[in-house]
Amino acid sequence: MADALQEGIRLQQTGHLKEAEGIYKKILKDNPKDFDAIHLLGTLAYQVGKYELAINLIKQAIHLNPHNANFYNNCGPSLRCQGRYTEAIACYKKTLELSPKHPEAYYNLGKTYAEAGEPEKAIEAYDRQLGMYPEHLSARWNRCLANLLLGNFVEGWRDYEIRWEATPASLSKRKIGNKS
C-alpha cells in the first residue's frame, strides 16, 4: 500500500489530480482508516478549491492520528480561505507544538495573521520563519508588506527589493542595457 500512496503523491504533485484521487480512494476502500490517504484527499480537495471538504477530510485524518504536525499545517489554509482565522491560527500553533521547526508553519501563521488584520503578529511569525529559514523569499516579501503597512519604513524598504525574486513581478523584471 505504501507504493500506491507514493504513486498518488507523485501524481498529485505533477497535477494529475483525478488519477491521484482514484488511488487514494482505492487505498481507502481497502483500509477506510488510512489517515495518510484521507489527509492527501483533503490536500487534493484544497487544491481544487473545495475548502469545506478539505477541512472535513483533514480533520478526520487528525482524529485518526492527532500527532502528525503536517495534518494540522495542511488544514489551516482551507480554514484561512474561508476566513476562519482563529481556527487556522490554532492549527498552526498545534503544528508548532508538535514540530517546533516545521518548515512552513510560521509562514502560514504569518499569512493568516496578515489576512486577519494583525500585521504586528504577522511580522513576528515571519521573523520566526526567517530565523530558521532565512532563504524563504515569500516570508521576506510578506514581512516587507506588513512593515510598510505599519509605517515601519526602514524595515519594510530593506526587504522591498526581494520583490524581483519572490513575487509575480519577478517574471517581468526588466533588463536594462544593450540587447546582445
Calpha distance 59→5 (Å, rounded): 19
Instruction: Assess if residue 176 is contained within a domain.
Output: no
Q: Among 87, 119, 137, give the residue marking a domain's end.
A: 87
Domain carrying residue 3: 1-87
pLDDT (0 to 100) of residue 173: 47
Read off the CATH number of the domain in which 161 is found: 1.25.40.10
Instruction: Assess if residue 42 is contained within a domain.
Output: yes
Instruction: Assess if residue 179 is contained within a domain.
Output: no
Asked if 72 and 134 sit in the same domain, the reply is: no
Instruction: Assess if residue 178 is contained within a domain.
Output: no
Instruction: Assess if residue 67 is contained within a domain.
Output: yes
Q: Is 82 exposed, middle or buried (0-12, 13-18, 19+ CB in 10 A)?
A: middle
Q: Among 87, 118, 153, give the residue marking a domain's end.
A: 87
Asked if 132 and 107 sit in the same domain, the reply is: yes
pLDDT (0 to 100) of residue 162: 82
Q: Within 10 A of 34 (CB to CB), how many other CB atoms are there? A: 20
Instruction: Assess if residue 156 is contained within a domain.
Output: yes
| Number of domains the chain contains | 2
Using an 8 Å Cβ cutoff, are 156 and 147 in contact?
Answer: yes
pLDDT (0 to 100) of residue 126: 97
What pTM value is reported for the model? 0.88
Residues, the chain: 180
Asked if 59 and 137 sit in the same domain, the reply is: no
pLDDT (0 to 100) of residue 136: 92
Query: CA-CA-CA-CA torsion for 47, 53, 57, 60, nearest 10 degrees?
Result: 150
Instruction: Assess if residue 94 is contained within a domain.
Output: no
Asked if 65 and 107 sit in the same domain, the reply is: no
- Going residue by residue through the chain, which has 180 residues, state the pLDDT in tens, using 9 for 90 and above: 689 999 999 999 999 999 999 999 999 999 999 999 999 999 999 999 999 999 999 999 999 999 999 999 999 999 999 999 999 999 999 999 999 999 899 999 999 999 999 999 999 999 999 999 999 999 999 999 999 999 999 999 988 988 777 666 554 444 444 444
Instruction: Assess if residue 140 is contained within a domain.
Output: yes
Asked if 140 and 62 sit in the same domain, the reply is: no
